[in-house]
Amino acid sequence: MIERQPRQHDRAYLDYVRTLPCAICGETTTVEAAHLRVGSINHGKRDTGMGEKSSDRWAVPLCGRHHREQHTMNELEFWAKYGINPFELAISIREPDA
């Protein structure tokens, strides 16, 4: 079991994520920083509880349409539908000069 850690906030990182194209469709005008709630022991990410948001380092770029879709279904099914490993995506995102 992964021990609960306080949420890490990073406004600059979220601003950076919003500059990237949507991970699903490549759209660039309505991109939002979508936080992954589901956990992965293999990637060091614990599940996020109800009313709780993941640390900002687990945010990925999604356009508004796909971000809403993410919230309407099982998160792992959402990512599988598009053939994307969301944990690898989040880990691969790095700010310039980071």
Q: pLDDT at position 49, please? A: 56
Average pLDDT by stretches of 10, the chain with 98 residues: 59 93 96 80 56 76 96 91 93 70
* Residue appearing with tokens 């993410």: 70
Segments forming the whole domain that contains residue 82: 11-92
Q: pLDDT at position 1, please? A: 45
Residue 21 in any domain: the answer is: yes
Cβ-based neighbours of 20, under 8 Å, separated by 6 or more? 31, 61, 93
Residue 97 in any domain: the answer is: no
Q: pLDDT at position 87, please? A: 86
Residue 6 in any domain: the answer is: no
- Residue 31's CB is within 10 A of a number of other CB atoms, namely 22
Q: Give the Cα separation of 71 and 10 in Å (integer).
A: 22
Q: Give the Cα separation of 73 and 26 in Å (integer).
A: 21
Q: Give the Cα separation of 66 and 22 in Å (integer).
A: 8
Q: pLDDT at position 2, please? A: 47
Total domains present in the chain: 1
Q: pLDDT at position 45, please? A: 57
Q: pLDDT at position 5, please? A: 55
